[in-house]
C-alpha cells in the first residue's frame, strides 16, 4: 500500500522535516524496535519514545511531531486507533478450507448460503440459517432456528443454541457458548425447581466474542449484546442482560441476570455487576470492581463495593497509612494513661 493511500485511510497528517521521499510502498506494520524500511510503526506508549531516534521504519504514527524522529511522521490524535486502522489493511484471517464439506452434518431444512464455508464435522440443525461468506469451523454446533448473519466467523468448538440471532461481521472464538440456559431456579418446600429458560440471545453486528465466554439465553424475552461490543475470553453474561453498543468487556468479567448496561461501557478484568441494576452510558469500572447498585451516566468506579475513582484512590492511600496511624494512636494512648496516672498521684498527695 502506498504511503499516501495509507495516510488517507487512517486520516493522519504527514510531517516530514527531513525531506524524506514519500513515494514509498508500505508492506506491513511492526513495532519501533524491529520495523524495516518498508514498515509502518507507531508510538502508543511514551515509554518507547527513545526508539524514535533509532527505528528504521519508513513512517511512524505519533500523537505529536518529534524532532529526533528519523522517519516520516504521521500525526494522529489517537495513535492507537490509527495503528489499528492501518493494521487492518495488512491482515485477514487465513482459512485453509473452502466450500462445504460432505463430512459436515447439515440438516435438510437448514438454509446455508452457497458462499458460506462449512468445515468438516460442523453440525447445523433444522431451520438454522447461515448467510453469505460465513466460515463455520470444525465441531461448531448451530442449533434449531438459529440465525447467523453475513461474513461471520465461528471458530472451532463454538456452540450456538436454538433461536440465537447473530448479526453481520461477528467473530466468535473457540469454545464460546451462546444461548445456554440462564441460571434460573426457585427454592421452596419441594426443593429447588428449575425455571425454564424460553427466551433467546440476540447479538448485533460487528461484535467479537472471546473464547470460553458464556452468554446465557433469557428466561422469557432476550439477552441482548449491542453493536460493535468487544467481549474478551472467560466472560459470563447472565440471562436477560442488555449491554449497549461499543462496550468493551475484559477477561473474567461477569454480570448477573436482568442487568441493563448502557452504551460505551468499559469493564476491567475480573470485575462484576450484580443482578437487576441499571448502568447508564459511558461508565468505566476498574479491574476487580464489584458494582452493587444502579449508576447514572458517566463516571469511573473502583473497589468493592464500587466507589468513584477519586474517592477509591484516596481510601487506598489512607489504608497504606493505617499501620503508622495505629502506632501513633497507641503512643498517644500511653501518654494519656501516663498523664492520668500522674494526675491521680497528685490528687492523692493533696488529700494527705
- How distant, in Å, are the alpha carbons of 11, 26, 82, 150, 300 from that of 8? 5, 13, 11, 28, 34
CA nearest neighbour of 293 among 311, 305, 284:
305
Our CA dihedral for 16, 22, 28, 29, rounded to 10 degrees, sits at: 10
Write down the catalytic residue from 76, 173, 224, 239: 239
Task: Provide the CA 249 distance to its chain's centre, in angstroms.
Answer: 3
Which grid cell is 82?
Answer: 490509527
239 belongs to the catalytic site:
yes
| Residues listed for the chain | 352
Contact between residue 216 and residue 199 where contact means Cβ atoms under 8 Å apart: no
What SS3 state is found at 165? strand
Q: Please identify which residue in the block is written with the cell numbers 442449533.
A: 143
Can you tell me the distance from the alpha carbon of 299 to that of 293, in angstroms, rounded to the nearest whole number? Answer: 14
Catalytic residues: 239
Amino acid at each position: 500500500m502506498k504511503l499516501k493511500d495509507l495516510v488517507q485511510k487512517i486520516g493522519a497528517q504527514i510531517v516530514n522535516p527531513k525531506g524524506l521521499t514519500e513515494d514509498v510502498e508500505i508492506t506491513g506494520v511492526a513495532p519501533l524496535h524491529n520495523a524495516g524500511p518498508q514498515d509502518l510503526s507507531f508510538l502508543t506508549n511514551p515509554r518507547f519514545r527513545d526508539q524514535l531516534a533509532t527505528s528504521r521504519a519508513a513512517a511512524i504514527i505519533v500523537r505529536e511531531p518529534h524532532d529526533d524522529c528519523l522517519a516520516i511522521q504521521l500525526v494522529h490524535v489517537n495513535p492507537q486507533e490509527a495503528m489499528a486502522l492501518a493494521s487492518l489493511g495488512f491482515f485477514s484471517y487465513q482459512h485453509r478450507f473452502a466450500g462445504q464439506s460432505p463430512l459436515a452434518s447439515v440438516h435438510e431444512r437448514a438454509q446455508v448460503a452457497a458462499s458460506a464455508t462449512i468445515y468438516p464435522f460442523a453440525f447445523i440443525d433444522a431451520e438454522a440459517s447461515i448467510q453469505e461468506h460465513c466460515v463455520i469451523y470444525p465441531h461448531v454446533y448451530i442449533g434449531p432456528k438459529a440465525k447467523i448473519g453475513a461474513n461471520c466467523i465461528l471458530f472451532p468448538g463454538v456452540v450456538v443454541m436454538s433461536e440465537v440471532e447473530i448479526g453481520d461481521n461477528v467473530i466468535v472464538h473457540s469454545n464460546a457458548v451462546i444461548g445456554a440456559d440462564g441460571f434460573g431456579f426457585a427454592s421452596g418446600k419441594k426443593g429447588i425447581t428449575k425455571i425454564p429458560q424460553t427466551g433467546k440471545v440476540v447479538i448485533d453486528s460487528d461484535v467479537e466474542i472471546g473464547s470460553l465466554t458464556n452468554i446465557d439465553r433469557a428466561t422469557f424475552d432476550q439477552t441482548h449484546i449491542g453493536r460493535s461490543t468487544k467481549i474478551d475470553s472467560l466472560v459470563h453474561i447472565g440471562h436477560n442482560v442488555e449491554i449497549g453498543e461499543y462496550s468493551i468487556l475484559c477477561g473474567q468479567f461477569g454480570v448477573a441476570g436482568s442487568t441493563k448496561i448502557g452504551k460505551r461501557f468499559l469493564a476491567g478484568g475480573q470485575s462484576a455487576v450484580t443482578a437487576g441494576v441499571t448502568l447508564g452510558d459511558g461508565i468505566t469500572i476498574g479491574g476487580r470492581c464489584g458494582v452493587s447498585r444502579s449508576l447514572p451516566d458517566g463516571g469511573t468506579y473502583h473497589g468493592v463495593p464500587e466507589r468513584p475513582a477519586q474517592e477509591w484512590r484516596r481510601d487506598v492511600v489512607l489504608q497504606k497509612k493505617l499501620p503508622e496511624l495505629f502506632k501513633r494512636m497507641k503512643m498517644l494512648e500511653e501518654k494519656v494513661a501516663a498523664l492520668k496516672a500522674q494526675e491521680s498521684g497528685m490528687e492523692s498527695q493533696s488529700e494527705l
